[in-house]
């Protein structure tokens, strides 16, 4: 999808054609849109398609009047009752008279600007607009990290009651999301540090301060991701041990029951074989009840012994 915006009289306005000072937003563009943008704005094809590869690494490149900034942004997908978090590349291309953003999926970072949820941004202040996008991206990471923390706390409470594999699998998905976040945030940090050292992109007095704020937010997100990942790993290990211990307790209980039940079976087997019975027992009227009583007595004694050894 191709969208063209421009700030006119401090209002973000949608346009149909390219002109000076516009912001071009490409979200999951088709081939026709890519060719139109590349042809009319004379953009390097590699710059345009860099963000369309999910495995593309975060980096910066510049050539003549074109400057590419590639960073990873967080996205969220729903999977039943659990939200899955991952990252995808976002390409920001600075041109001489315009700024272009390109991404594979709709995302909250760009949508917040399109829906005018971000105040004090102007499309013709290109470098400041870039840093505002980067700041919004870091803030989005922090928000999603809080969502992950709340989700893990909820799943932990469910684990106290159920102790099923379902909850452990959900925690595993959250841990996977934290690994994605941590890796992407570290890559973004390298890009931000390079931007801070690049004097050619900082054109306005407040740009350096804004970029430093972005770096601080990004570092805070890295620390939170590492902390949450460590906690989640410990929790998963603890609950896995608890579940394994519960299985051992159940197996021990079942083994004890098997031992107790084996004694009557053994007594009955002796007297069910073709062997002579004790003298007088064959003609005894209550022989069956006597044998049954002996079996129950022996079972009771074995049960008491096992109980004293805390096998139950």
DSSP state for residue 123 in the 8-state scheme: T
Give 134-182 pLDDT, tens digit per residue.
Answer: 999 999 999 999 998 888 888 877 776 665 677 778 888 888 889 999 9
Contact 211, 258 (CB under 8 A): no
Higher pLDDT, 141 or 83: 141
- For residues 211 and 193, what is the distance between their CA atoms, to the nearest angstrom? 9
Task: Indicate if the pLDDT at residue 60 is higher than 70.
Answer: yes
Numbered ranges of CATH 3.30.460.20 in the chain: 2-245
The pLDDT score that the predictor gives to residue 273 is 59
**Given CA atoms 188, 192, 193, 199 in this order, what sign does their dihedral have?**
positive
Higher pLDDT, 311 or 251: 251
Contacts of 74 (CB under 8 A, 6+ apart): 85, 86, 87, 107, 137, 140, 141, 144, 181, 184
Give 257-303 pLDDT, tens digit per residue.
Answer: 776 677 677 666 666 656 566 655 656 666 666 667 777 776 777 76
Nearest by Cα to 211 from 128, 141, 112: 128
The pLDDT score that the predictor gives to residue 268 is 67
Contact 71, 185 (CB under 8 A): no
Element (DSSP H or E) covering residue 75: strand 66-79
Instruction: Specify the fold of 2-245.
Output: Beta Polymerase; domain 2 (3.30.460)
For 7-30, what is the mean pLDDT? Answer: 88
């Amino acid at each position: 999808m191709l969208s063209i915006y421009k700030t006119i009289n401090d209002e973000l306005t949608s346009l149909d054609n390219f002109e000076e000072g516009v912001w071009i937003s490409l979200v999951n563009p088709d081939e026709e849109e890519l060719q139109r943008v590349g042809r009319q704005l004379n953009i390097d094809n590699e710059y345009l398609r860099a963000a369309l590869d999910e495995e593309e690494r975060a980096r910066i490149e510049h050539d003549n009047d074109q400057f590419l900034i590639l960073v990873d942004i967080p996205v969220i997908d729903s999977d039943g009752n659990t939200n899955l978090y991952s990252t995808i590349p976002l390409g920001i291309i600075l041109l001489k008279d315009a700024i272009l953003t390109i991404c594979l999926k709709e995302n909250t970072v760009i949508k917040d600007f399109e829906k005018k949820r971000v105040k004090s941004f102007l499309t013709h202040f290109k470098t400041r607009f870039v840093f505002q996008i980067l700041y919004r991206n870091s803030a989005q990471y922090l928000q999603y990290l809080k969502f992950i923390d709340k989700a893990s706390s909820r799943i932990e409470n469910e684990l106290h009651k159920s102790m099923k594999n379902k909850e452990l699998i959900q925690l595993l998905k959250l841990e996977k999301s934290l690994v994605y976040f941590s890796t992407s945030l570290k890559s973004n940090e390298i890009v931000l540090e390079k931007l801070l050292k690049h004097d050619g992109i900082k054109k306005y007095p407040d740009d350096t301060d804004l970029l430093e704020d972005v770096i601080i937010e990004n570092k805070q997100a890295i620390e939170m991701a590492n902390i949450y990942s460590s906690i989640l790993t410990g929790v998963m290990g603890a609950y896995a041990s608890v579940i394994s211990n519960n299985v051992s307790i159940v197996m021990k209980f079942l083994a004890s029951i098997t031992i107790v039940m084996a004694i009557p079976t053994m007594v009955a087997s002796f007297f069910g074989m073709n062997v002579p019975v004790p003298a007088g027992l064959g003609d005894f009227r209550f022989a069956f009840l006597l044998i049954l009583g002996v079996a129950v007595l022996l079972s009771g004694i074995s049960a008491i012994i096992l109980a004293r050894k805390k096998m139950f």
